[in-house]
Structures are given as structure tokens and as C-alpha cells.
């Protein structure tokens, strides 16, 4: 059993109010030195075996179901040390 | 400028309705071979310089502000190829 991870983040030019809310809270809570925060989604997909065809399928899933390509970018990578 | 990533996922024993909804939709859309889906959050924090003190600060932020330690686990890692 292998794990494929899909990270979905808003494109850099899209405003991220959730991230900005976290960023705004940090100095009030005494944390300095964090200049920007962006919040996105992480999907962990369990697959039987990692093949090129399976990864292509996951990329299609990421593009059509897990992200909105108008405003979001995604990255697919295989997690080596899956439990 | 370096980027520190905080991945927040529900603990394995906690039900994940969002992930289950995605998992249930996959076969209907013609995607087979994905046996489980979990959905979590990904935070990208921009920091000036990655030091041990800064990483400890990010871990405190992750534990107190970005995750709910009762139901969620988090992982902190430095992203090497940050833009």
C-alpha cells in the first residue's frame, strides 16, 4: 500500500483571507518573524501500487475533483514513508 | 526567504467525512484503485531565515493555532525549493 499526496494551494495572485487571518493573529499572540501565511488543502490517497498509469489517474483526479484550476495549483507526490 | 510547511491531518482514528465524500465520488466518476482518501490542511509560512529557534516557534504556532491537538496531528518541514 502506497500513499500519494495531492497538495492544493491558491495561486499566488489569488487573495487568501484564511492565510491572512492567521498571519494577522501571529503578532498579537507574540510570534514575530513570519512574513506571510498561505492556507491550502492536503489530500492523502491510498493506492495499491504506484505506477505511471495510477499517477496519471491521480493527476486527473487532482485537476478535476480536488482543485479548481481557475484559482488553485496542485502538486502530486508519492510519500515514501507511508505507514 | 525560506518556506516552512505545516501539514495538519486528522488523527487516523478520527472519522473524516470530507475525505470519505471524495472517496465515495471516485468510483462514480470512473476512477478505480483508490482505497482511501483523507483530507487535511497545508499551511505555508514564509520566514526570513530557518534557525532552530524559528522552527521551534513554528512548532508552537502549529500546535496552538493551526491544529487542534485533540483530533489532529501536524508535521513541520522546511521546503527546500521555495520560490
So what's the ipTM on this one?
A: 0.92
Tell me the mean pLDDT in the region B26-35.
Answer: 93
Confidence of residue B1 (pLDDT cuts 50, 70, 90): confident
Tell me the mean pLDDT in the region B17-29.
Answer: 95
Look at residue A1 in the predicted model and tell me its pLDDT: 82
Number of domains in chain A: 1
The CA–CA distances, whole Å, from A28 to A24, A32, A39, B50 equal 7, 9, 19, 22
Mean pLDDT rounded to a whole number for chain B: 94
Confidence of residue A81 (pLDDT cuts 50, 70, 90): low
What CATH number is associated with residue A22? Answer: 3.30.1280.10
What number of C-beta contacts closer than 8 Å exist between A and B?
98
**Contact call for B47 and A34, based on CB within 8 A:** yes
Q: Which residue has the higher pLDDT, A40 or A79?
A: A40
**Contact call for A33 and B39, based on CB within 8 A:** no
Helices and strands (DSSP H and E) totals, chain A: 2, 3
Given strand A2-10, what is the order of strands in its sheet? A72-79, A2-10, A34-47, B34-47, B2-10, B72-79
Q: What is the pLDDT of residues A21-77, one digit of tens each?
A: 999 999 999 998 899 999 999 999 999 889 999 999 999 999 999 999 999 999 999
Q: Is the pLDDT of residue A83 over 60?
A: no
**Contact call for B33 and A48, based on CB within 8 A:** yes
Per the structure, the complete domain to which residue B75 belongs is given by 2-79
Select from A29, A33, A42 the Cβ nearest to the Cβ of B54.
Answer: A33
Amino acid at each position: 500500500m502506497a500513499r500519494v499526496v495531492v497538495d492544493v494551494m491558491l495561486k499566488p495572485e489569488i487573495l487568501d483571507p484564511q492565510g491572512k487571518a492567521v498571519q494577522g493573529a501571529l503578532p498579537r499572540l507574540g510570534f514575530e518573524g513570519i512574513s506571510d501565511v498561505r492556507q491550502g488543502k492536503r489530500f492523502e490517497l491510498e493506492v495499491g501500487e504506484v505506477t505511471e498509469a495510477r499517477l496519471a489517474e491521480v493527476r486527473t483526479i487532482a485537476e478535476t475533483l480536488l482543485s479548481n484550476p481557475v484559482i488553485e495549483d496542485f502538486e502530486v507526490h508519492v510519500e515514501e514513508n507511508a505507514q
